[in-house]
Amino acid sequence: MFSDRRDAGRQLAQMVGHLAGAETIVLGLPRGGVPVAAEVAKTLDAPMDVIVVRKLGVPGHEELAMGAIGEGGVKVIHSDVVDPLGISADEIRAVERREAIELERRVEAFRGGGDAPEVAGRQVVIVDDGIATGSTIRAACQVARAQGAARVVIAVPVAPSGWEQRLADVADELICVSAPRRFGAIGAFYRDFRQTSDEEVTALLSR
C-alpha cells in the first residue's frame, strides 16, 4: 500500500538507480504518472517531461486499442486488430481526429507551447502510477520508439501479476514495486488516490 503517488515514486526510485546516465530521460504519463515520475527523475538526476499519447479505441469498443497517436504526428496502428475487425481507413481517421483534439489540449496545458523532449538515441524511462490493462503505457512505448528512443524502460509502482508478459514486446526493461495476484483498481493500492490536476502537472514540470 502506498500513501500517495509521491510515496509510490520514492519506493519505485529505489529500484531504478542502475538507469542513471547522461542519456536517460524520465517521461511521466499525465496526469497521475507525473508525481511518480518526479521522484524517479530526482533519484536519477535526469530531466523529466510528459509523454502525451492518446489511445485510438475501436469504434463501439473504445477500451480495445487499435493504435495510438502522439506528439509530432506520430501514429501507431495495430493491423492485427484493425484487419480482422474490418475497420476502414475513414473510421480510423474519425477516431484520430477526435483524439487529436484532446492530445493538443493536453500538450498545450502541460507544455504551454514549448517543444517536446528530444528522445532520439536516448534511454527513455516511462512512468505511470500503475498498470491495469496496459494499453496506455503500451501506446506510450510505441510512440517513444517511433520517435527514435534507443532504449525503453517501463517503471511503475503496481501492476497485476504476469504484467511483464503483456508488455515485454514493447519495452527493453520492466520495473515494478508490487505485482499482486489479486488485482482490482489501481487506486486500491493507494491511501490517497485523488485525481492529479493539470496545475499540479505543470508545477512539477516547471521544477
Please tell me the pTM assigned to this model. Answer: 0.86
Predicted confidence band at 63 (pLDDT cuts at 50, 70, 90)?
A: confident
Backbone angles phi, psi at 139, to 5 degrees: -60, -40
- pLDDT above 80 for 72: no
**Cis peptide leading into residue 31 (ω within 30°):** yes
- pLDDT above 80 for 83: yes
- The CATH number corresponding to 5-51+116-206 among 3.40.50.2020, 3.40.50.2000, 3.40.640.10, 3.40.1080.10 equals 3.40.50.2020
C-alpha cell at 40: 524517479
Q: Could you give the residue ranges of the DSSP H alpha helices within 57-162?
A: 79-85, 89-111, 135-146
Q: Are 158 and 104 in contact (CB under 8 A)?
A: no
Among the listed ranges 27-36, 60-69, 156-165, which one has the minimum average pLDDT value? Answer: 60-69
Sheet holding 123-127, edge to edge: 48-50, 24-28, 123-127, 151-158, 173-178
Residue 92 to residue 77: CA distance in whole angstroms: 9
Strand partners, 176: 156
For the chain, give every domain's residue range: 5-51+116-206, 54-111
> Among 95, 125, 126, which residue's Cα sits nearest to residue 19?
125
Q: Are 27 and 51 in contact (CB under 8 A)?
A: yes
Whether domain 54-111 has CATH 3.80.30: the reply is: no
Predicted confidence band at 74 (pLDDT cuts at 50, 70, 90)?
A: confident
Q: Are 50 and 31 in contact (CB under 8 A)?
A: no
Q: What is the pLDDT of residues 10-31, one digit of tens each?
A: 999 999 999 999 999 999 999 9
pLDDT at position 132: 83
Q: What is the pLDDT of residues 88-146, one digit of tens each?
A: 999 999 999 999 999 998 888 888 767 788 999 999 999 999 998 787 888 899 889 98
